[in-house]
Amino acid sequence: MRKGGNGGAGQGSARGKQRQGKKKGRISNRGLGYGALMPPECCFSCTTFNILAPIYKRLDKEDQSCRESQYRGYWLSRNQGIIDRLLGEMSSIICLQEVWLGNDELVDMYERQLGDAGYITLKLARTNNRGDGLLTAVHSNHFRVLNYRDLLFNDFGDRVAQLLHVESAVSFCQSRNSSIPQQILIVNTHLLFPHDSSLCIVRLQQVYKILQYIESYQKEHNLSPMPIILCGDWNGSKRGHVYKFLRSQGFVSSYDTAHHYTDSDADAHKWVSHLNHRGNICGVDFIWLLNPNKYRKPLRTSWNEALFGIIKVEYFLFQYLLRAASLSEDNAFAFLKADSPGDYITFSGFCQALCQLGLTRHPHGLSPQDTQELWIQADIGGNGVVDYEEFLQRIWNPKWTEQSEENFEQETEVILKAGAERQQAFGFIVKNAVLFPPEVEKGMWPEDYSLSDHAPLTVVFSPVRMPCFQTLR
């Protein structure tokens, strides 16, 4: 599995099996690695951490060209501190973003020390030689890597993702003689930063590609239902379109689940994980969990609903910039129907409105196919026009943003009662989740924190049996 070198674009690398020294098998009780939560054989931990590549770390606010990468002693010391923390946690799975893959010395530093501690490492550089990329480490005492894939988005920002198909090295609960496959699909990614609202669609497309690839991989290998864990820097908060899109697909934020936070505005800023280059603090690092018993609406349906959500937000912004006195649904309907002679929206008026909102006719906007599919979704009656009731139901008040955990459970039961084939699988309960340093869990960013401009997130999962669907929806 090892490829050598820096693991250029589209090429992963693995290392560690041959380099398991005296630390192999030694599980630390520091941090959240295993602690006293449950016996080690019945849980595992996962850490995600954007470690801030030295080529991006600014050392002088007045001189933006002064970067940490120019000073070997600085980046060497900081990254050794990061490695020390990771080895103190000894998570079963480690997902890192912004690893400086363009520097052989730093890469070797991570591969060698993680390898000596019993980890297999896989790395993937961003396309077009951007200098940084992803590194995922899997502890060989806990999981075997069955398969590994690179996902290249080939879009603006040169973003990528890693897909790992892993199997537990030992039975999660050895006292149970179970034949249920104990396998997981894991993704590590770093989405595009939303420099402006025109990139919202690109970011959604990146998530869509990840989920689409996972579905294709499961079907290609005829896999039994299994948990899916998505790790990374999502560059968007709980109030963003990416968060809502993943929630609409049944995923839950592990940190919010552990702390009993909801999707409400009241819980949107309880925690932070990033101090961005604009000086704002926000929560953007997530470990998402999808259990195999979750009902998943068709992926394209969630995609279209997310785009309708963007249309609504862009309309609000457009009217705000015009100092509009009203943002009511009546005004929005009038805006979309444009010069239509009747009390309805035509396709040409719809296209004109999307262009006026800046959502089409540029490289990062909606494609003609996207526009056509949105129109088909909105035109419930199929008569070529969208009346006021259809507008309210499909564009203005889509129900997907209000989906809750209870809704998914109810939908799951409906599907099962309708005759879908049941089978036993295993999933996970979120036992605990911790951000470091502790101040970020209270929505504050400490001035003396220097490991990165992101906080590492570690989650402990415990396996449970559950009924699920035989086939993907």
One-character DSSP codes across 394-437: IIIS-GGGG--HHHHHHHHHHHHHTTPPEEEEEEEEEEEEEESS
Q: Please report the pLDDT score of residue 304 as a whole number.
A: 86
CA distance 414 to 295: 10
Q: Strands 183-190, 228-233: parallel, antiparallel or unpaired by DSSP?
A: parallel
Q: Please report the pLDDT score of residue 399 as a whole number.
A: 58
CA distance 202 to 117: 38
Residue whose tokens read 């932070």 = 272
Residue 139 — left, alpha, or beta (φ > 0 → left; ψ -120 to 50 → alpha)? beta
Beta bridge partners of 288: 230, 253
Contact of 424 with 180, CB cutoff 8 Å? yes
Reading the chain (473 residues) residue by residue, the pLDDT tens digits are 443 333 333 444 444 443 433 333 333 333 444 333 334 457 999 999 999 999 999 998 888 889 999 999 999 999 999 999 999 999 999 999 999 999 999 999 999 999 999 999 999 999 999 999 999 999 999 999 999 999 999 888 899 999 999 999 877 654 454 556 689 999 999 999 887 766 888 899 999 999 999 999 999 999 988 999 999 999 999 988 899 999 999 999 999 999 999 999 999 999 999 999 888 999 999 999 999 988 778 888 888 888 888 888 877 766 655 555 456 788 888 888 888 888 999 999 999 988 988 888 777 788 899 899 999 989 999 999 999 999 998 888 765 444 444 555 555 555 555 555 567 788 999 999 999 999 999 999 999 999 999 999 999 999 998 887 554 44
Q: Could you tell me the strand order of the sheet in which 183-190 lies?
A: 143-152, 160-168, 183-190, 228-233, 285-290, 252-253
Assign 170 to helix, strand or coil.
coil
Assign 190 to helix, strand or coil.
strand
Q: What are phi and psi of 314, to 5 degrees?
A: -65, -35
Sequential DSSP letters for 20-49: --TTTT----STTSSTTTS-GGG-EEEEEE
CA distance 347 to 336: 10
Q: Please report the pLDDT score of residue 331 as a whole number.
A: 85
Q: What number of CA atoms fall less than 13 Å from residue 272's CA on the CB side?
A: 16
Residue 323 — left, alpha, or beta (φ > 0 → left; ψ -120 to 50 → alpha)? left
CA distance to 187, 188, 203, 213, 215, per residue, from 210 (Å): 8, 10, 11, 5, 9
CA distance 431 to 222: 30
Alpha-helix residue ranges (DSSP H) falling in 32-103 = 72-89
Q: Please report the pLDDT score of residue 401 as a whole number.
A: 42
Sequential DSSP letters for 315-365: HHHHHHHTT-S---HHHHHHHHHTT-SSSSEEHHHHHHHHHHTT-BSSTTS
